[in-house]
Amino acid sequence: MSVAVTIEEVDGVSVVGLTGRIVLGEESGTLRETVKNLIAAGKQKIVLDMSNVTYIDSAGLGILVAAHVSAKTQGASISLCALGQKFREVLQLTRLLTIFDVYDTRTAAIDGFLQKSASKAAAGNQ
């Protein structure tokens, strides 16, 4: 089963809902292309909602890292939300948890971006 992708805009944040498996092949390519297209369209704030991801392999982890690096070099940012316990453990063991902003819920991830924007605006006004 390939990964299904939904994209929703909430308060200027692109929320990408992922459903299925992120593994080597078409599945990881779908995620890569989705993130690439969002960045190309000028989207700077991207949340990957992992709540319905049933499995991720090393290629899937590689795609997440590549997406993060690509986003960062183009002035965008990617956050993860709703990680399952096993997925969180894998990110912790591989120390990838330290490179991503990770939130428990979709709402918390969106709020995280909004708070960063407010902090930058406040710093710019001083």
User: Please, which residues have CB within 8 angstroms of residue 116's CB and are 6 or more apart in sequence?
Assistant: none
Which residue, chain included where needed, has tokens 């078409």?
A: 26
Integer Cα distance of 108 and 87 in angstroms: 18
Picking from 4, 30, 35, 39, the residue whose alpha carbon sits closest to that of residue 18 is: 4
The Cα–Cα gap between 96 and 73 comes to: 18
Alpha carbons 16 and 25: distance in angstroms, whole number: 19
The residue ranges of DSSP E strands in the chain, in sequence order, are 4-10, 13-22, 45-56, 77-81, 101-103
User: What's the pLDDT score for residue 1?
Assistant: 60
pLDDT for the residue 125:
54
Beta carbons within 10 angstroms of residue 72's beta carbon: 12
pLDDT at 120 over 90: no
pLDDT score, position 121: 65
Mean pLDDT of 89-109: 94
User: CB–CB of 53/86 below 8 Å?
Assistant: no
The string of pLDDT tens digits covering residues 36-95 is 999 999 999 999 999 999 999 999 999 999 999 999 999 999 999 999 998 999 999 999
Residues 14-40 pLDDT 10s: 999 999 999 998 878 899 999 999 999
pTM (2 decimals)? 0.91
